[in-house]
Amino acid sequence: MQTELKTKTPNLLPQLTHARNPGMELDLDWVARVQANTSAIERRAATLGGRRSVKKEFQAAWLLKAISLIDLTTLSGDDTAGRVKRLCAKARQPVRAEMLQALGMENLTVGAVCVYHDMVETAVRALEGTNIPVAAVSTGFPAGLSPYHLRIAEIGESVKAGAREIDIVISRRHVLTGNWQALYDEMREMRAACGDAHVKAILATGELSTLRNVARASLVCMMGGADFIKTSTGKEAVNATLPVTLTMIRCIRDYETRTGIKVGYKPAGGISKAKDALLYLALMKDELGHPWLQPDLFRYGASSLLGDIERQLEHYLTGHYSAANRHAMG
Q: Which of 65, 200, 230, 262 is catalytic?
A: 230
Measured CA to CA in angstroms, residue 210 lies from 37, 39, 130, 201, 243 at distances of: 10, 12, 41, 18, 11
Q: At what angle do helices 274-287 and 38-48 cross, to 10 degrees?
A: 120
Question: % helix / strand / coil in the chain, to the nearest 5?
Answer: 50, 10, 40
Q: Which of 266, 276, 296, 308 is catalytic?
A: 266
Q: Which of 167, 227, 276, 308 is catalytic?
A: 167
227 is catalytic: no
| Beta-bridge partner residues of 199 | 166
Largest CA-CA distance found in the chain, in angstroms, rounded:
57
Amino acid identity for residue 320 in this structure: H
Measured CA to CA in angstroms, residue 209 lies from 173, 177, 181, 226, 271 at distances of: 11, 11, 19, 22, 21
266 is catalytic: yes
Phi, psi of 202 (to 5 degrees): -90, 120
3 state DSSP class of 112: strand
Instruction: Show which residues are catalytic.
Output: 167, 230, 266
